[in-house]
Amino acid sequence: MILPLRVEQVTFAAGGRAIIDGVSLDIEAGPSTVILGANGAGKSVLMRLMHGLLQPTSGRIAWRAAGPRRHQAMVFQRPVMLRRSALANVAYALQASGLPRTESAAMEALQEVGLAHVAHRPARVLSGGEQQRLALARAWALHPEVLFLDEPTANLDPGATREIENIIKAFDAAGTKIVMSTHSLGQARRLGDEVIFLHQGRVAERAPVDRFFPQPASAEAAAFVKGELPWA
Amino acid sequence: MLENIFIDPRLWHIVALSLGVSISAVALATLLGMPLGAAIAVTRFPGRQVLIVVLNALMGLPPVVVGLFIYLLLSRAGPLGSLGLLFTPQAMVIAQTILVLPIIAALTRQAVDDAWREYEEQLRSFGVEGLRAALTLLWDIRFSLLTAVLAGLGRASAEVGAVMIVGGNIDGVTRVMTTAIALETSKGDLPLALGLGMVLIGIVLALNAAAHLVKEAAQRRYG
């Protein structure tokens, strides 16, 4: 177990501006965590800091125990597919993580996301929704303890979004801790157990979903929930 | 009289030697230059920007200067004189490799740099960095890299200065298309010069057409 993840007084500045400003929080195993906030609130940067893709300007980010890289995986808003088949993309993720690069393991992951029928098609010619499912298959193959998802459905139509959300639920059911950023209130409600609301690089509020939406405690969150509702 | 020139065995001997020297040089330069370019693209170290500028500048190395440099190295009194390579095809391969290496390394660096910008987060998320990342990127953009190899081959097969100086333009031994054209023109044997010129242009055109087709097909196949 590499969880919990402890974020202590983390600041991340770029170009003289603090994008993440003194954030402290613990990410525990179990309930799905949704990082909610407007564009520019710092959601993506916070996820990248936690996943280790960015180094904090100050503060500390520490896992309970150091584990191999494959214990955490991340799916990005725009997935990057290698120029090879869908199956080979999953096999690459297996190999990169030091797991046996077996076709059966790769195929099983593709089946899980409903892409077994395009296993031998080049990944880059798949549709946007299929590519995002393939990105989830690459993560699935690693059986990570934590899965970071950075606005995974921001570029997708409602049908593809529903498929992605179902796969995310399957990760949750399989015991993977979900940490997902989104600006969609509906998605936060459907997938989240708790909400971390970011506003201008700070945690404005952290609450269980069933308390956050009816009664947001902070003024910023209240405004966001109210303003966003018509589009949720 | 131009048609007779194409059945002249001298011409085809010259063409074969030219291709042998230039393809060997490009193969060596690719083997060395691609990993070098990719490594510079995916690593960060002090002086990297300077190295990139120098590498780009070296793309324009004057062939005669490279020829002179290799000549000094290989001449009897030079540090590598004991190898006895001066005025041999091997010397020409060495000179052209030096000439082509920066072209392939710089173009590879640029292409891998662009790809790294796109792939970096994904690969680092997988825990893939450094050499492994460089190899993954090289493989993923292999069809784009054809352009770098072709640019190198174009440079190698078209240059006169370096092969003239280190090869010596010896008939039957180190005479290649470009040096033969220069010599035959000055001698007034225009048919041979023209024939060789046409072969040279034909080869360059055919190579570029082939590379274009491969790239197009790959684009359709792999996206």
* pLDDT < 70 positions in chain A: 228-232
Chosen from B118, B119, B122 to mutate, greatest number of chain A CBs within 10 A: B122
pLDDT at B98 over 50: yes
Q: Give the count of Cβ contacts less than 8 A between chain A and B.
A: 47
pLDDT grade, residue B49 (50/70/90)? very high
pLDDT at B83 over 70: yes
- Interchain contact, A48 vs B118, CB within 8 Å: no
- Interchain contact, A83 vs B140, CB within 8 Å: yes
Q: Which residues contact B50 (CB under 8 A, 6 or more apart)?
A: none
pLDDT grade, residue B171 (50/70/90)? very high
Distance (Å, rounded) from C-alpha B181 to C-alpha B184?
5
Residue range B67-96: mean pLDDT, rounded: 94
pLDDT at B2 over 70: no
What pLDDT is stored for residue B110 in this prediction?
95
What pLDDT is stored for residue B10 in this prediction?
85
- Interchain contact, B122 vs A79, CB within 8 Å: yes
Q: Which residues contact A193 (CB under 8 A, 6 or more apart)?
A: A30, A31, A32, A33, A208, A209
Domains of chain A in sequence order: 5-231 (3.40.50.300)
Contacts of B141 in chain A (CB under 8 A): 83
Q: How many domains is chain B built from?
A: 1
Length of chain A: 232
- Interchain contact, B125 vs A82, CB within 8 Å: no
- Interchain contact, A69 vs B126, CB within 8 Å: yes
Distance from CA of B28 to the nearest CA of A (A): 26
What pLDDT is stored for residue B1 in this prediction?
56
Tokens 């662009």 appear where? B114
Q: Which two tokens stand for residue B188?
A: 């007034």
Here the CATH number for the domain that contains residue B154 is 1.10.3720.10
Give chain B's mean pLDDT. Answer: 92
Of B122, B132, B223, the CB nearest to A80: B122
Contacts of A125 in chain B (CB under 8 A): 222-223
Range of the domain at B182: 2-222
Q: What percent of chain B lies above the pLDDT cut of 70?
A: 99
Residue range B60-89: mean pLDDT, rounded: 94
Q: What chain A residue is nearest to B144 in terms of C-alpha separation?
A: A83
The DSSP call for residue A55 is -
Q: Which two tokens stand for residue A220?
A: 């910023």
What pLDDT is stored for residue A228 in this prediction?
59
- Interchain contact, B127 vs A84, CB within 8 Å: no
What pLDDT is stored for residue A66 in this prediction?
79
CA atoms within 13 A on the CB side of B118: 14
- Interchain contact, A69 vs B223, CB within 8 Å: no
Q: What chain B residue is nearest to A82 in terms of C-alpha separation?
A: B140
Distance (Å, rounded) from C-alpha A232 to C-alpha B45?
47
Q: How far is CA B47 from CA A42, B52, B102, B188, B214, in A?
A: 32, 9, 17, 51, 37
Q: Which neighbouring-strand residues pair with A177? A: A146
pLDDT at B155 over 80: yes
Residue range B20-32: mean pLDDT, rounded: 97
Judge whether B140 is closer than 8 Å to chain A, CB to CB: yes
Q: Name the packing angle between helices A103-112 and A86-96 (round to 10°).
A: 120
Judge whether B114 is closer than 8 Å to chain A, CB to CB: no
What digits encode the pLDDT tens for the residues B173-212? 999 999 999 999 999 989 889 999 999 999 889 988 988 8
Q: Give, rounded to a whole angstrom, the gap between the first and last alpha carbons of chain B.
A: 49
